[in-house]
Amino acid sequence: RLTRARELVYDAAVAVHADNPLVLIVDDNVDAREMYALYLEHAGFRAAEAADGETAIVAARRDRPAVILMDATMPRMDGWEAARQLKSDAATQSIPLIMLTAHAFAEHRERAAEVGADAFLAKPVLPDTLTLEIRRLLAES
C-alpha cells in the first residue's frame, strides 16, 4: 500500500506525465514493487502495482499498460499462470511482458518463453538494466 506522501507524488507525476508509458509492476513483495516503481518513475515512466497474478490480469485489462513486469512466484495466482493467461487473451497479448525471478536457471528462461514472456530478467535487477529492457521492448512494439 502506498504511503500518503507517495500517493501525492504519484498523482502529481501522473498529471504531469500522463503520456509517459505506464508499467504494471506485479510482485507480492511490497518493498520490491515500491523499489521498481521508484526506479521507473525516476526514468520517466508511470508505474502501477499489483500484488498477485489475479490482480495483474484485472489491472492489465483495465489500464492497458505499455509493459508488464511479472514476478514468477506469488500467492493466489503465480506469475507463470498470469503471464500465460495474459498472452492468450486477445485484449492483452500484445502488451510486452518481462518475467522477473530470483531463479535464473535455464529452465526458468525456457518456461518464460513457453508462457509467452517477451523477456526474462533475474533478480536482483539493476535499474539501468531494467529501464534498458523496457525501452527495448517498447521500441520493438
pLDDT higher than threshold 90 for residue 104 = no
pLDDT of residue 16: 47
pLDDT digits (tens, 9 = 90+) for 7-47: 555 555 544 456 899 999 999 999 999 999 999 999 999 99
**If you compute the radius of gyration of the chain from its CA atoms, what whole number of angstroms results?**
14
Instruction: Please tell me the pTM assigned to this model.
Output: 0.86
pLDDT digits (tens, 9 = 90+) for 46-102: 999 999 999 999 999 999 999 999 999 999 899 999 999 999 999 999 999 999 998
Q: How far is CA 127 from CA 13, 36, 78, 132, in A?
A: 19, 8, 24, 9
- Chain centroid to CA 132: 14
